[in-house]
Structure 1
Amino acid sequence: MSKEESTFKFGHPMRSQFLLDNDYIPLNHGSYGTIPKVVQEAFREYQDKMETNPDKFFRRDLELELCKAREAVAKFINAETNEVVFVQNTTTGINSVLKSLKYEEGDKLLYFSTVYAAIGSLLEYIHEIYEGKVELIKIEVNYPISDDDLIDKFVKVIEEEKQKPNTKIKLAVIDAISSTPGVIVPFQRMISILRQNNILSVVDGAHAIGQIPLNIKEIEPDFFATNCHKWLYTPKSSAILYVPYKHQKKIHPSVTSLYLHEGFVSEFSWIGTQDFGSFLAIHAALEFRKKIGGEEKIQNYCKKLAIEGGNLISSILGTEIIGPESIIQSMVNIRLPIPTSNEEFTDKKFMDLMFNKYNFAVLVFKHNKYWYIRASAQIYTDLNDFEKVGYIVKEICDSFK
């Protein structure tokens, strides 16, 4: 460990590297992320360059700067530079893919009930514009469920659909790490199964980059989108879309602009004037991660804290976490002692108390007949944060019993 690396202590000492309020307990990094101060400084430097000489920046400098940034993030996930483009967020990336693809009557789109709500809306939109000729196949998933049982359910649905005449599954939208509940999905096994069945894999990796190791050349998805502004520490509106060369001719950005038919990278490089600083600051985010100890150190700390913190909160509440530990990385889901049949308890009431009275943050959601909270472990949090939140949440829940 270098002297510089040893000066960075995880937990509350790391909060000095971020912009978080001192009296705020931040256990919801998964929703929006937040950036280190050094990344904010780099972000603002690029913004200054844009404003001090906008014509030179946009007409001469931007193309090279974007290429360098794409090269850096592509190397980070072991992908080819020109198979990776920047998009504003994962939702935008998956919109680009699903709206670019052509569908025929009898095509089916496969997805899980745990799909992120925005992507669920996108699937419904595709169904509607094709006037019902494209069918949606939803696989119901209720946690806890083992990876093997989830795979068995996945395979069973595919086999059942294959037996039906005049129809086929065109693609499947799968999560790398689902949002609610926030758990690791066996997506690599699913991609292999989809490939064997000639079904396109569209991976919602919104929570993936920076939270789990990614090796795109090993994973071999057909499409993969992931948010850099969550777990990788880049500014908001910063995500990447991976499309292998074999699929690029049929994929276009959701906003059509100047470079139509000039190639995948060119089309996505310009959808109109915007703040490109969030993409270009990725260098600073990657450098910060190296300085504080690297990916393994970050991921090991967050996983250990998520498991210990989740178990601590569940012990305070007298409930349990969604396990096993193998599906937990930086987010942990804790059941609240309140069933969804309790009509007095709502997510809005919970959030009003969370923000207005207690000044902390978790994500609250319904799943499998109960209310849950999703708590995020991060390098600037420690076990004391989880303990404080546990007693606060208990107080909130007790008020609704």
Structure 2
Amino acid sequence: MDNLNSTVEFGRSWRSKFLFENDFIPLNQGSFGAYPKVIREALNSYKEKFESNPDLWIRKNLGIELAKAREAIAEFVNADANDVVFVLNSTTGMNAVLKSLMFESGDKVRVHSAVKNSLQFVRDRSYGKLELLKIDVNYPISDEELISKIIGVIQEEHQKPNSRIKLAFVDAIASVPGAILPLKQILAILRQHNILSVVDGAQSVGQIPLDLKDLDPDYFVSSCHKWLYCAYSAAILYVPERNKKNLHPPVTSVYYDEEFTLEFSWVGAQDYSPYLTVLPALEFRRKIGGEDKILTYCHDLAVKGGKLIASILGTEILGPEYIIPNMVNVRLPVDVSNEKISVEVLNNLLFDKYHCYVLPYKHNGHWYIRASAQIFTDLSDFENVGKALREICESFNKMVK
């Protein structure tokens, strides 16, 4: 990393520092992330240390290295290191919370799509005690409208006899559409009504600044492999001291019911090396200019790139603009009722014919794509993808005519 510095300009030339195929246009950081070659080198180094002496590594060194990594990521999100543990991914962290809580008759949980199946599992095991509550949010919507809707649902449910919302899953950044939510205001509302909060911040670490002490969620999870440049798969679970009692990993280990960080440090036969790439990932970010430079470049590119694609397609981005993180949503000029169009068909065309990728999805009666901006992309990438999408949409529209 010695050859990297804050004067380097981001853009397509940075693709060579990552592991992408030649000529592939990657505009979907939000799904699985991507890490640079220097992180792969660090990852392989950790693996070699394990393989060269497994007993020494696991019995003596692993705990020390995990503690260093926890301290580094805790400082990054402004949390106490003893309140942060590593988990495989955000879903694993949310399952740890969900399956540790006890529910009573009349309890309701605000459903989040990412844990829908886990919630249904817990509901089925609760013998009818738990009810699931889904709040549909259709964009475009202002923060004021969203907050008003949440308050309205809470008040309506709490007026019913023997009914209360015990737990609410909340996005920091929604996945589809990719949009920033007014998290601080939502958490304040939940606290006011004594509703436990589980923040799905899968998209947040490395994409927006975070201050967990200030936000003060009851539980918070986020992936580190999506936007932070860590190796796959690594995520964090944050739990303040008040909520640690009776919280356990989904996998029961030899450290069951031990101290919080210790119990989560060992969950069976898994490779812990990706967790340790937090340190080199944070160092990489510092070397290339720091958080402000990275986030400013990616956000500005997302807005400009989204508008460029929209101008090519003759449509618009999904706003308002202040909800746009480093991902932007653009409406496709096709009829949602066209049965020839599906996610699978769009995926195949993007992969096989145009050698690029953005995430297609349906929302609120329209087809959209979600495009991610990164330090290894620039406006030319958005332009090329926009032209590919225009050809695809024109071909579908001709079929209808």
| Fold agreement, TM-score > 0.5 | yes
1:37 maps to 37
Unaligned runs of 5+ in 1: none
Instruction: Find the aligned partners of 2:282 and 2:130 in 1 and give their Cα distance.
Output: 41
1:104 maps to 104
Q: Conserved in 2, the CA contact under 8 Å of 1:224 and 1:243? A: yes
1:121 maps to 117
Does structure 1 residue 79 correspond to structure 2 residue 79?
Answer: yes
2:204 maps to 208
Does structure 1 residue 378 correspond to structure 2 residue 374?
Answer: yes
Aligned pair partner of 1:230 in 208, 226, 242: 226
1:362 maps to 358
2:60 maps to 60
> Where does 1:317-332 land on structure 2 (aligned, <5 Å)?
317-332=313-328
Does structure 1 residue 258 correspond to structure 2 residue 265?
Answer: no
- Pairwise CA distance, 1:22: 2.4
Q: Conserved in 2, the CA contact under 8 Å of 1:249 and 1:263? A: no
Q: CA RMSD in A?
A: 1.3
Unaligned runs of 5+ in 2: none
1:272 maps to 268
- For each residue in 1:208-230, what CA deviation from the matched residue of structure 2 results, as whole angstroms up to 9, or x when unmatched? 00000000000000000000000
Instruction: Find the aligned partners of 1:299 and 1:91 in 2 and give their Cα distance.
Output: 25
Instruction: Find the aligned partners of 1:183 and 1:243 in 2 and give their Cα distance.
Output: 24
Instruction: Find the aligned partners of 1:4 and 1:343 in 2 and give their Cα distance.
Output: 49
Aligned pair partner of 1:137 in 128, 133, 138: 133
Instruction: Find the aligned partners of 2:240 and 2:185 in 1 and give their Cα distance.
Output: 19
Instruction: Find the aligned partners of 1:28 and 1:89 in 2 and give their Cα distance.
Output: 18
- Pairwise CA distance, 1:125: 2.0
2:69 maps to 69
1:400 maps to 396
Aligned pair partner of 2:238 in 229, 242, 245: 242
2:8 maps to 8
Aligned pair partner of 2:312 in 310, 316, 336: 316
Instruction: Find the aligned partners of 2:333 and 2:119 in 1 and give their Cα distance.
Output: 33
Tell me the amino acid that sits aligned with residue 16 of structure 2.
S
1:217 maps to 213
Q: Secondary structure at the match of 2:271?
A: coil
1:24 maps to 24
Q: Conserved in 2, the CA contact under 8 Å of 1:83 and 1:245? A: yes
Q: Output the TM-score relative to the length of structure 1.
A: 0.97
Q: Conserved in 2, the CA contact under 8 Å of 1:8 and 1:14? A: no
Q: Conserved in 1, the CA contact under 8 Å of 2:7 and 2:289? A: no
Instruction: Find the aligned partners of 2:364 and 2:4 in 1 and give their Cα distance.
Output: 46
Tell me the amino acid that sits aligned with residue 161 of structure 2.
P
- Pairwise CA distance, 1:252: 0.4
Q: Secondary structure at the match of 1:334?
A: strand
- Pairwise CA distance, 1:133: 2.1
**Are residues 24 and 84 of structure 1, via their aligned partners in 2, closer, same or farther at CA, if it must alter by over 3 Å?**
same
4+ runs deviating over 6 angstroms: none
Aligned pair partner of 1:337 in 333, 337, 354: 333
- Pairwise CA distance, 1:318: 1.0
- Pairwise CA distance, 1:118: 3.3
Aligned pair partner of 1:152 in 142, 148, 151: 148
Tell me the amino acid that sits aligned with residue 381 of structure 2.
D
Instruction: Find the aligned partners of 2:119 and 2:150 in 1 and give their Cα distance.
Output: 18
Instruction: Find the aligned partners of 2:6 and 2:70 in 1 and give their Cα distance.
Output: 30
Q: Conserved in 2, the CA contact under 8 Å of 1:260 and 1:267? A: yes
Q: Secondary structure at the match of 1:284?
A: helix
Does structure 1 residue 166 correspond to structure 2 residue 137?
Answer: no
Tell me the amino acid that sits aligned with residue 160 of structure 1.
E
Instruction: Find the aligned partners of 2:351 and 2:94 in 1 and give their Cα distance.
Output: 32
Instruction: Find the aligned partners of 1:16 and 1:337 in 2 and give their Cα distance.
Output: 34
Q: Secondary structure at the match of 2:129?
A: coil
- Pairwise CA distance, 1:3: 9.5
Instruction: Find the aligned partners of 2:41 and 2:108 in 1 and give their Cα distance.
Output: 46
| Count of paired positions | 396
- Pairwise CA distance, 1:264: 1.2
Aligned pair partner of 2:290 in 277, 291, 294: 294
Tell me the amino acid that sits aligned with residue 62 of structure 1.
L
Tell me the amino acid that sits aligned with residue 75 of structure 1.
E
Q: Conserved in 2, the CA contact under 8 Å of 1:70 and 1:84? A: yes
Q: Secondary structure at the match of 1:109?
A: strand
